[in-house]
Amino acid sequence: MVAIVAIIAIVAAMLLIAWARLEVHGTQDIEAAISDAPTVDYRPAEEREVDAAVTSSRFATGFSP
């Protein structure tokens, strides 16, 4: 019985993490990966640079997005 509750809790946590990821980051990157059409990034250059730095430091530390 405890194992079933643990599995349900793990699945619920995975769903909540996926939902939070969609709420925070949106679906633009997922759509870009699926479609062949080039996407236009409307963010300012400074924000793109910060995002790239954060992403590279995540990979360097072992935390991938």
> Residues near 58 by Cβ (< 8 Å), separated by ≥ 6?
64, 65
* Rounded-to-integer distance, Cα 16 and Cα 25, Å: 14
Checking if the pLDDT of 8 tops 90, the result is: yes
| Single pTM value for the model | 0.46
* Rounded-to-integer distance, Cα 10 and Cα 16, Å: 10
Domain boundary assignment for the chain: 2-61
pLDDT tens track for 23-57: 887 888 777 778 776 667 777 888 888 887 877 76
Cα torsion for 28, 46, 21, 54, to the nearest 10°?
130
Give the pLDDT of residue 62.
Answer: 61
